[in-house]
Amino acid sequence: MYQTTYHRASSVDEAAALFAKGSEAKFLAGGQTLLPVMKQRLASPSDVIDLGKIKELIGIEVSGDTLTVKAATPHYDVATSDAVKKAIPALAYLASLIGDPAVRYRGTIGGSIANNDPAADYPAALLALGATVKTNKRSIAAEDFFKGLFTTALEDGEIITSVSFPVPQKAGYAKMPHPASRFALTAVFVAQTKSGEIRVAATGASQSGVMRVPAIEAALKTSWSPSAIDGVTISASNLLSDIHGTSEYRANLIKVMAQRAVAAAG
């Protein structure tokens, strides 16, 4: 047994202050990762600071060409939001594929990207759409936020407050889910930005977590169509290999998922 003190913060500033007071504090959002980790004794925080009821951390806004999802917004809200469906339908679709209904009701975008599981869905959308992660201290481009397996640019005690997505011209997502957990065995998000840049990101595939796929970006620049990817070869080196799929299988999945994502984007 170990002792943990639970705190329900009512503002971001209060949460940051509580964190600073704890000897080994942890923020709690949906608890879909942190609670299992605590049950397994892989984490034993002195203080658990609940962000889930902080009003300024919940909600979805569209302003001009930017869609903002606040950090403690559950996946279910993103999946069912009319604003998200209109601005970036692929993002709503992505959220609808996360886990099961219980996970979608509790899990949040902030918790998902702070955790940066190499098979999580949101990191692919952030990287492909060129999103910006806002924290209580600064703004971090998605490119600089994801630092490898379960590692991000967040400093100790830094709180994600929201994620801002530039609305693209087109975007699509396709995922081969693990049949039990629904995490991505491999999934690909493709986007064509309003300025015409093509960005492709794959999750579930790389040993270093979410990654851009330059070979597919180059092919799609020539022609935005699934068949443009036919001739692309994805190297299996540095891809994950486990009982669920070899690195060669994942290399092929990157290509197939990218083709499906482009078809979905239209």
Ligand X SMILES: Cc1cc2nc3c(=O)[nH]c(=O)nc-3n(C[C@H](O)[C@H](O)[C@H](O)COP(=O)(O)OP(=O)(O)OC[C@H]3O[C@@H](n4cnc5c(N)ncnc54)[C@H](O)[C@@H]3O)c2cc1C
Q: Give the binding site for ligand X (CB under 6 A).
A: 26-34, 51, 71, 98-99, 103, 106-108, 110-112, 114-115, 120-122, 154, 159-160, 181-183
Which of 121/217 has CB closer to ligand X?
Answer: 121
Task: Give CA separation, 117 vs 43, 86, 150, in Å.
Answer: 16, 28, 5
What is the closest distance, in whole angstroms, from the C-beta atom of residue 38 to ligand X in the complex? 9
* Closest approach of ligand X to the CB of residue 67, in Å: 18
Residue 228: DSSP 8-state: G
**How far apart, in Å, are the Cα atoms of 185 and each of 54, 118, 179, 202?**
33, 10, 9, 10
| 49/213 with CB nearer ligand X | 49
CB 71 within 8 A of CB 160: yes
* Parallel/antiparallel/unpaired status of strands 25-28 and 47-50: parallel
Minimum distance between the CB of residue 232 and ligand X, rounded to whole angstroms?
A: 25
Q: Which C-beta is closer to ligand X: that of 117 or that of 217? A: 117
Residue 31 is classified by DSSP as -
| Smallest separation (angstroms) from ligand X to the CB of 152 | 9
Contact 75, 103 (CB under 8 A): yes
Which residue's CB atom is positioned nearest to ligand X? 111
Of residues 32 and 192, the one with the C-beta less far from ligand X = 32
Using alpha carbons, list the distances in angstroms from residue 208 to 18, 72, 97, 253: 32, 26, 23, 17
Shortest approach of ligand X to residue 97 CB, angstroms?
A: 7
- The nearer residue to ligand X, 98 or 216, going by C-beta atoms, is 98
